[in-house]
């Protein structure tokens, strides 16, 4: 299958859009993402225990996307898809740490720069090392400031969600310390300075809730852009609730009737929610909320051990992180844009993390020039945001490869039907009707052979198209 080139659309903003940069009418853009947050881990998706009042208010004043997908059932590939609008199998980040963002990729930050945006990155990068002297077993040096971000406060990968420079007791993340051994409780986490701010290791304001530590850097960035009357784009990528997930005493106390693991997991999510509240309050204090669009989602479904223990929740869906079932790929998602997105609405049309890039291109009115003909897998969400889109025009292809133990999984979703290729060595295919069977209980491979055969062929075409991209077809040499 020859991938169609991305055709740039220069669309007008919705009526009433307020200018943030001297009359150009370009909205500020915030891509907010949790880490390993399951579909069912938030109040707005019906969780009866975890308290997320600020996200719930965001849902009440915005649009809830009930069928929103990540590009992969784990972190690094999804993060790359958010930035490029391309499937991870195109840009070669197939699993956590396996590679880094290639310099030849075009990111949302670089697109925003073309239209005069100030750009910022805050939180977990996970698309390459952020310190040039790092020598890890996987990946390579490719920090966010190499990819269009002006202001950067970032870590290479996971940190504890409370006191992020110190290894917590009961660490079950399997993270390795210096010398390859498991990090001991109380020891410095990854050398004790996992964050870098514009390339410099950070030592101050590193105690307490990690989501608060991140937001303390986000808000000054937003204020600075607002004072200069410049539009801004920022990625705010929290570590919560990725392991090691730890909550502070005041947040654990909110769940005193739960066991310790649940107190930490639930409390960390509530602490992150509090920071979403700070963000929304700051936009309103500055008077720019009507010209700021906020996307909120997660990078994949809930972590395996926490989901299997019944602590983290994928809601009614089967599976979790590292699986191609809905629980690994379908995540909580919201869009808030007062005056533009109808408040308190929900859409079950398919959207995905690959859609951020073309949406941002359309919102900013940018042109990609000579690189406009490379395959872009996402589609603009403008129709979804306005309620016009009821069914996705393009399928979604998912790929995940650990590069060890022959683990290799794929999926293809075409609105109603979903085809899975097992991640287990020698595994076969599964076919599900997501309209009648969203919990994926009834395999239809033998029941609907025509659908299976057609989708299997299209999956192979997507895999080959992505392989060509990954092997160099989209890059200049």
Neighbours of 426 (CB within 10 A): 6
Is the separation of the CB atoms in 33 and 334 below 8 Å?
no
Token pair 């169609």 is found at 4
Backbone φ/ψ region at 69: left (φ over 0), alpha (ψ -120 to 50), beta: beta
Q: Are strands 232-237 and 28-34 parallel, antiparallel or unpaired?
A: parallel
Tokens 């999956």 correspond to what residue? 459
Question: What one-character DSSP code corresponds to residue 187?
Answer: S
- The SS3 assignment for 456 reads helix
Cis bond before residue 155 (omega within 30° of 0): no
CB-based contact 300:291 (threshold 8 Å) = no
Residue 145 and residue 152 in contact, taking contact as beta carbons nearer than 8 Å:
yes
Distance CA 198, CA 214 (A): 14
Q: Classify the C-alpha dihedral 259-172-80-193 as positive or negative.
A: positive
**Positions marked catalytic:** 75, 126
Which pair of structure tokens corresponds to residue 203? 């030592």
Residues 294, 58: contact at Cβ < 8 Å?
A: yes
| Local structure of residue 469 (DSSP, 8 states) | I
Whether the CA torsion 313, 319, 320, 326 is positive or negative: it is negative
Kindly list the distances between the CA atom of residue 52 and the CA atoms of 218, 254, 344, 358, in Å, as whole numbers in the listed order.
20, 12, 16, 30
As a whole number of angstroms, the distance between CA 20 and CA 363 comes to: 13
Number of helices followed by number of strands (H, E) in the chain: 12, 17
């Amino acid at each position: 299958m020859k991938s169609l080139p991305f055709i740039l659309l220069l669309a007008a903003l919705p009526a009433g859009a307020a200018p943030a940069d001297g009359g150009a009418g370009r909205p500020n853009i915030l891509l907010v993402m949790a880490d390993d947050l399951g579909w069912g881990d938030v109040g707005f998706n019906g969780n009866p225990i975890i308290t997320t009042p600020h996200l719930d208010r965001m849902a009440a004043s915005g649009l809830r996307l009930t069928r929103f997908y990540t590009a992969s059932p784990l972190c690094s590939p999804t993060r790359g898809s958010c930035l490029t609008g391309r499937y991870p199998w195109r840009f070669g980040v197939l699993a956590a740490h396996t590679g880094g963002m290639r310099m030849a990729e075009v990111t949302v930050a670089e697109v925003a720069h073309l239209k005069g945006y100030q750009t910022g990155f805050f939180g977990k990068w996970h698309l390459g090392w952020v310190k040039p002297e790092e020598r890890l077993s996987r990946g390579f040096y490719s920090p966010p400031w190499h990819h269009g971000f002006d202001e950067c406060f970032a870590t290479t990968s996971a940190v504890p969600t409370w006191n992020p420079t110190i290894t917590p007791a009961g660490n079950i993340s399997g993270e390795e310390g210096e010398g390859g051994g498991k990090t001991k409780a109380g020891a410095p986490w990854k050398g004790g300075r996992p964050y870098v701010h514009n390339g410099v290791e950070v030592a101050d304001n590193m105690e307490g809730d990690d989501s608060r530590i991140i937001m303390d850097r986000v808000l000054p960035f937003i204020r600075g852009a607002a004072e200069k009357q410049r539009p801004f784009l920022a990625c705010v990528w929290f570590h919560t609730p990725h392991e090691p997930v730890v909550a502070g005493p005041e947040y654990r106390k909110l769940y005193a009737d739960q066991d310790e693991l649940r107190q930490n997991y639930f409390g960390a999510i509530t602490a992150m929610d509090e920071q979403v509240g700070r963000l929304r309050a700051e936009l309103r204090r500055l008077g720019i909320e009507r010209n700021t669009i906020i996307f909120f989602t997660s990078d994949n479904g809930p972590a395996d051990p926490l989901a299997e223990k019944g602590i983290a929740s994928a809601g009614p869906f089967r599976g979790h992180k590292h699986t191609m079932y809905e629980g690994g790929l379908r995540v909580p998602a919201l869009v808030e844009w007062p005056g533009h997105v109808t408040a308190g609405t929900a859409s079950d049309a398919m959207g995905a993390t690959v859609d951020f890039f073309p949406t941002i291109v359309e919102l900013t009115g940018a042109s990609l020039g000579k690189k406009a003909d490379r395959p872009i897998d996402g589609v603009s969400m403008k129709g979804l945001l306005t309620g016009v889109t009821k069914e996705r025009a393009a399928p979604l292809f998912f790929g995940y490869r650990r590069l060890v133990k022959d683990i290799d999984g794929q999926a293809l979703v075409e609105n109603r039907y979903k085809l899975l290729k097992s991640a287990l060595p020698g595994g076969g295919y599964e076919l599900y009707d997501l309209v009648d069977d969203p919990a994926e209980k009834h395999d239809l491979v033998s029941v609907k052979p025509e659908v299976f055969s057609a989708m299997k062929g299209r999956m192979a075409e997507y895999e080959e198209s992505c392989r060509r991209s990954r092997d160099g077809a989209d890059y200049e040499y």
